[in-house]
Structure 1
Amino acid sequence: MTADLMPELTARIRTVAHPDAAPCTCVDGTTTLAHRPDTTVLRHAETVAKAHAPGTDPAALTLRLTTAARLPDVFLPPLTPAPAAFVDDRPVTLWPYGTPVDPDTPGAAPWEAAATLLGRLHRAPATPGTPPMRGPAKAAHAIARLRETLAGTAPHPAATPLLRAWSALPAWARGEAPMPGRPRTLCHGDLHLGQLVRHPAPDGPWRLIDVDDLGVGAPAWDLARPASWYACGLLPPDAWTRFLAAYRAAGGPAVPEDGGDPWPALDVPARALTVQTGARYLAKAIAADRPLDEVERSLIDACARMVSGG
C-alpha cells in the first residue's frame, strides 16, 4: 500500500471507531500495527483495520471470515462477515483490538493456549467451499523470493544447503501437489505466537488472528513451526512438551492422541517450515548486507543436517 493511501484507510477506521460522528478525543489517535508490502494494519481506539495483500480473492477471504465468525472460541471474530471496504483494490477487514503476546516475556509465552486453539480448530467442520490452507504455498513463495534476491547478488554460502533441503522435500510440502494419505482439516496455515491475542483486551482469553492462510489441509502443518523450533534448539523441550500435551488434550488429530511418536506426522512439515523460515531470514540478511545472527545460523545448520543425514 502506498503512503498516500494511508489517509483513506485512517478515515475509514475512525468512522468505524466513532460511528456517531462525535469528535475524536482518543489520546493515541490512529496507530500503525503493521505496514509491509503485503499488509497494512491500523488501530484506532478498540478497532483494527487490515488491508490485505494485493490480489487477495475477496470471495475466498469472505469464506475465511465466515469461518472465523462461527468459531468464536478459536478466532477473534471479525466485525463484519465480509470485507468492509476496498482501498487500492485491496480488501479491508475490521476487527476488535486484542492484546498481543509480549515478546519481552518469553517464559510466559502461551504455548498451551495456542495448542488448545489448534486442537479446537482442527476438530471443527469446514464451511463448504473453504479454500485450501496456504501454508505450503507460502513456503514456496519464500523460496521464490530468496531466489530473486540471490539472482542480483554474489553467491551466498548459506543458500546451498537451504535450497538443497528444499529440493529434498516431497512435492506436497513444496505446494506442488496435495498431501497424500493424511487427515485433512481446517488449518490456520501460519501459526506462530504473533497470531494470538487476548480479547477482550487486556486479559481476556487467547484467540487466533489472521485468516489469510486459513483453509483445509494437513493439520500437522500448524504444529510444524514449534516442532521446527524445538528441533533447531530454539524452543525449550519443556515448552514443546507442554504444547504437544495441550494439543493432545484438546483432541487434535495431527498426532497420535495415545502419546505415540509424533514425528512421523511432523517431520516433513517441520523440515518445510525450517527451510521457509531460513529462506526468509537469509533473504533479509542479504538485502541488509549483514551477517547471519545466531538464530538464523541455527536454521541454516538444520537445513545442512537435513541433506547430510545428520
Structure 2
Amino acid sequence: MTATPLLSELTTRARAAAHAQTPGCPCGATRTLTDRPDGTVVRHADTVAKAHAPDTHPTDLTTRLTTAEHLPGILLPPLAPTPLTLHDRLVTFWPYGTPVDPDDPDAAPWEAAATLLARLHRTPAPTHLPPMRGPLKALRAITRLRAACPHPAAAPVLHAWTLLPAWARAEAPQPDTTTLCHGDLHLGQLVRYPAPDGPWLLIDVDDLGAGVPGWDLARPAAWYACGLLPPDEWTRFLSAYRAAGGPAVPADGDPWPALDVPARTLTVQTAALAIVKAVAADRPLDEVEQAVVDACARMGSVPPELASGFAK
C-alpha cells in the first residue's frame, strides 16, 4: 500500500523529532501504530508523532497539551506544548510508553487506571479548558449509525439514545463544569513511562476537559453491567478509585446512581459503532457486539440508577 502524503511526512517528522531527542538514535524502522481518518500515529525509536482528527480545534488542543504538561505524574507529557500543522492536520509529539498487553488480560492495570483517574478528578480543571468531549463522541457514533444502511439492531440502540438526558446526548451543557476528566478512558489509554516498566500514565488528551467524572468510569461500569467485565475486576477498579479519594462516586455504598447515565450512554455508543462496523464489513454482529445491543434493548424496561446495573 502506498503511503499517503500525510503519513510520509509524519514519518519524516517523527524520525527528525527522535533524532533531536536522542542524538545516538538506533534508527530502526519507523512503525505506523494507527492510521485512521480520526488519527494517524507513527513511532520512531522513543518518539511518537500523532496527526489529530481533521476537525481538531488548535486552541483547544494547545490548552489540553498545556494541561498534560503540568500533570506529569498523571498524564504523559508532550514533547512540545504546541502542535504543528501538516497537510491541514494538527500534529503533536510524545515520548513512547509501553502499552497494556492485550494478550495478558490478567495483568490489566485496573488499580493503576482507577488511581490515576482519581488523581485527575481531584485536580481542578484549568481555566479556559474546553468541555470533556465524551458526550460529543457518543453523538457522533449515533450520527454514523443513522447514516449507515438499515440494520435490525439499530432500532433498540436509537430508542435507548432517546431515553438519555440532554447533557449525555451533547444537547445541553454537562452538569459539572469544574472537574477535570479524561473523556475516553479505556485500558488502551495507559502506558508505562519511561518504557519499558516505568509507572503507568494516562495518554490521549483529545477528549480531556471539564465535565462529569462518572464518564471516566463509564466504560468499565458498562462492561460490568453488560456481563463483559468480571465482577472481581470491576470491584478492583471501583475499590481502587474510592481508596484514592475519587469524587465521581460516594466513598461507600451504591455507586450506580452516579454511574447509570454515563454507563448507559457508553453502552449506546459502543453498540452504535459495532453496528456501523458490521454493516461496513457486511457481516453479522459478533457475540460481544450483540451483548451491548441486547443491553440497549433492556434499557427501556429497567428504571434508571438501578443498584445492580442497567443490564443485569
Q: TM-score, normalised by structure 2?
A: 0.93
Structure 1 pair 8–157 and aligned structure 2 pair: CA distance change class (3 A): same
Conserved in 2, the CA contact under 8 Å of 1:220 and 1:255? yes
Match of 2:167 in 1: 172
Cα deviation 1:250-304 (Å, max 9, x = unaligned): 11100001x1210001001100000001101110001101001010010001000
Structure 1 pair 8–241 and aligned structure 2 pair: CA distance change class (3 A): same
Cα deviation 1:17-54 (Å, max 9, x = unaligned): 11299796523x11001100010000000000000010
Conserved in 2, the CA contact under 8 Å of 1:64 and 1:215? yes
Conserved in 1, the CA contact under 8 Å of 2:221 and 2:234? yes
Gaps of 5+ in 1: none
Matches of 2:289 and 2:152, distance apart in 1: 13
Give the secondary structure class of the aligned counterpart of 2:296. Answer: helix
Matches of 2:129 and 2:52, distance apart in 1: 18
Conserved in 1, the CA contact under 8 Å of 2:39 and 2:53? yes
Conserved in 2, the CA contact under 8 Å of 1:184 and 1:219? no
Is 2:100 aligned against 1:101? yes
Match of 1:220 in 2: 214
Match of 1:281 in 2: 274
Match of 1:14 in 2: 15
Conserved in 2, the CA contact under 8 Å of 1:183 and 1:254? no
Conserved in 2, the CA contact under 8 Å of 1:15 and 1:21? no
Aligned residues: 301
List aligned pairs for 1:191-206, cutoff 5 A.
191-206=185-200
Match of 1:72 in 2: 72
Q: What is the root-mean-square deviation of aligned Cα atoms in Å?
A: 1.6
Whichever residue aligns with residue 75 of structure 1, its letter is L
Matches of 1:26 and 1:19, distance apart in 2: 12
Cα deviation 1:118-161 (Å, max 9, x = unaligned): 00000012221000000000000000011111xxx3x3211011
Conserved in 1, the CA contact under 8 Å of 2:97 and 2:191? yes
Identify which of 177, 181, 186 aligns with 2:180.
186
Q: TM-score, normalised by structure 1?
A: 0.94
Is 2:306 aligned against 1:307? no
Gaps of 5+ in 2: 303-310
Match of 1:250 in 2: 244
Structure 1 pair 247–24 and aligned structure 2 pair: CA distance change class (3 A): closer
Conserved in 2, the CA contact under 8 Å of 1:227 and 1:266? yes
Structure 1 pair 249–156 and aligned structure 2 pair: CA distance change class (3 A): same
Whichever residue aligns with residue 175 of structure 1, its letter is A
Whichever residue aligns with residue 266 of structure 1, its letter is L
Is 2:46 aligned against 1:53? no
Matches of 2:100 and 2:158, distance apart in 1: 32
Structure 1 pair 198–20 and aligned structure 2 pair: CA distance change class (3 A): closer
Structure 1 pair 165–20 and aligned structure 2 pair: CA distance change class (3 A): closer
Match of 1:158 in 2: 153
Whichever residue aligns with residue 172 of structure 2, its letter is A
